[in-house]
A and B are shown apart, each in its own frame.
Chain A
Amino acid sequence: MNDLAIELKGVGKRYPYFALDNIHLEVPHGQIMGLIGPNGAGKSTTIRILMGLLQQERGEVRVLGHRMPSEQIAAKWDIGFASEDMRLYEGMTIEWHMNFIRSIYPKWDAAYAQLLLKRFGLRAAQKIKGLSHGQRVKATLLLVLARRPRLLVLDEPTTGLDPVARHEILRELTAVMSDEGRSVLFSSHNTQDVEQISDRITFIDRGRIISSMDKEAYLDRWRRLRLEVPLGIALPALPGIIGIRQNGRLAVATANVFAADMASAYESTGVRVQAIETMTLEEIFVANVERSREEVEA
């Protein structure tokens, strides 16, 4: 077995109005991967393919060393999957669901399940139909986490949750990482969640992966430079600068491969560098998507 928990190579699938195109994705063991994309970008389709719930038309998928979808039964013992459209039995209690999952998965950790009930503020005797959206999400996650799977695949686990519930879930996801043999892939359009807990980040838009790298690399490479351009001086084109917005003497340049000598390169042409600012993951994400769309349209 190699050191990747998830490996997608050249995966594609076509729909009448949407296509997943040549997806390459790697999640090493022991890491949290955040998958970020706007609505309709292909996050859920990618996740459903790697879970074996949809069959790809092209490309290879391996999860925990198993080929998907052909070996999905063997793979699923060690994968915990949760998504919005997962249904619990409305008329049954949380405890009934816990006993049900426990009867299927021998690795079920009853003590951890009790701890999670307490941490998530849930009562075992509650019926599903009386639960709020946040409580349902937490109950679903409890059922997945207490199995202690080696790989967690979570489709938008924090969407629609209040800040307290979001925080509770992020805490449990990072706690999983105290065991370096376990891995997490989760999708979100909340960039703050992803920025906080992910080791690697993948941006997806319109069915294509537009970028995938270490989180620290993203935050290191992207910068915003505030420039003052004296009259009669043209801004030089520097490598690594992907966008410039100028209004009168003030300009803002965005770098996706920032280098320390950029400031002196500008200054040598008479342009004054007022400030060099770091960017949040959200700003990087939006700039990345805009640039990728411009390239496709050009």
Chain B
Amino acid sequence: MSSGFVISQSDKRPIYLQIMEQIKQRVALGDWAEGQTIPSIRQLAVDLEVSVITVKRAYLELEREGVIVTQQGKGSHVAAIPGLGMRLQEQELEKHLEQAVRLADLLGIGPKDLEARLRETGDRRTAQEEEQV
């Protein structure tokens, strides 16, 4: 079975973080549905050609974040929480917003100006989409 995960050697982040991110993406997009069984730690390790301990680390952290549930001897599944995918997408948005605020802060752009810039970006995008239609 191939999971379709891609581990990048040039990505500076640890492999377990890359695995976590790709699992979260699948859940966020709904490819891995709430409550769905996911590959066992060993299966995924063999598939990705990485060590068992690395996948175990990723699963433990995801369990701590409430994204997946692992039952001793029964394997792992996506947490059966309605709206989990949406919640992960919200978290992703939150992360980007925080990043934008941080960068704006560095450049001395206040909340009012940042709000205006955000609105401009939205307008530009709408205009581009209308052009394509």
* Cβ 8 A contact of B51, one of A32, A178, A192, A278: A32
* Cβ 8 A contact of B42, one of A177, A196, A219: A177
A170 contacts partner chain B, Cβ-Cβ < 8 Å: yes
A197 contacts partner chain B, Cβ-Cβ < 8 Å: yes
* Cβ 8 A contact of B45, one of A177, A192, A215, A216: A177
- The closest CB in chain B to the CB of A217 belongs to B53
A171 contacts partner chain B, Cβ-Cβ < 8 Å: yes
Tell me the B18-67 residues at the A interface (CB within 8 Å).
42-43, 45-46, 49-54, 57
Decide: A171 and B53 in contact? CB cutoff 8 A: no
B126 contacts partner chain A, Cβ-Cβ < 8 Å: no
Q: In the complex, what residues of B have CB within 8 A of residue A178's CB?
A: 42-43, 46
Decide: B53 and A215 in contact? CB cutoff 8 A: yes
Decide: B53 and A216 in contact? CB cutoff 8 A: yes
B2 contacts partner chain A, Cβ-Cβ < 8 Å: no
CA distance A30 to B12 in the complex (A): 28
- The closest CB in chain B to the CB of A180 belongs to B42
Decide: B52 and A215 in contact? CB cutoff 8 A: no
B23 to chain A, nearest CB (A): 17
Decide: B9 and A174 in contact? CB cutoff 8 A: no
Decide yes or no: A199 and B51 within 8 Å by CB, A216-B57, A219-B14, A278-B14 being known contacts. Answer: yes
B68 to chain A, nearest CB (A): 18
A191 to chain B, nearest CB (A): 12
Q: In the complex, what residues of B have CB within 8 A of residue A197's CB?
A: 49-51
The count of residues in chain A whose C-beta lies closer than 8 Å to any C-beta of chain B is: 21
**Size class of the B contact interface (CB-based, 8 Å):** 10 to 19
A198 contacts partner chain B, Cβ-Cβ < 8 Å: yes
A214 contacts partner chain B, Cβ-Cβ < 8 Å: yes
Decide: A177 and B54 in contact? CB cutoff 8 A: no
CA distance A199 to B49 in the complex (A): 12
Q: In the complex, what residues of B have CB within 8 A of residue A196's CB?
A: 15, 49-51
A175 contacts partner chain B, Cβ-Cβ < 8 Å: yes
A31 contacts partner chain B, Cβ-Cβ < 8 Å: yes
* Cβ 8 A contact of A174, one of B13, B14, B46: B46
* Cβ 8 A contact of A278, one of B12, B42, B43, B57: B12
Interface centre among A178, A197, A200, A216 (most CB of B within 10 A): A216
Decide: B50 and A199 in contact? CB cutoff 8 A: no
Decide: A215 and B43 in contact? CB cutoff 8 A: no
Decide: B51 and A198 in contact? CB cutoff 8 A: yes
B64 to chain A, nearest CB (A): 15
- Apart from A31-B52, A219-B14, list 12 A-B contacts with CB within 8 A: A30-B52, A31-B53, A171-B49, A174-B45, A178-B42, A178-B46, A196-B51, A197-B49, A197-B50, A216-B57, A278-B12, A278-B14
**B interface list, Cβ under 8 A from A:** 9, 12-16, 42-43, 45-46, 49-54, 57
**A interface list, Cβ under 8 A from B:** 30-32, 170-171, 174-175, 177-178, 180, 192, 196-200, 214-216, 219, 278
17 contacts between A and B (CB under 8 A): A30-B52, A31-B53, A174-B45, A175-B46, A177-B42, A177-B51, A178-B46, A192-B9, A196-B15, A198-B51, A199-B51, A199-B52, A200-B53, A215-B53, A215-B54, A216-B16, A216-B57
Interchain residue pairs A-B with the least CB separation, the first 3: A199-B53, A174-B49, A199-B51
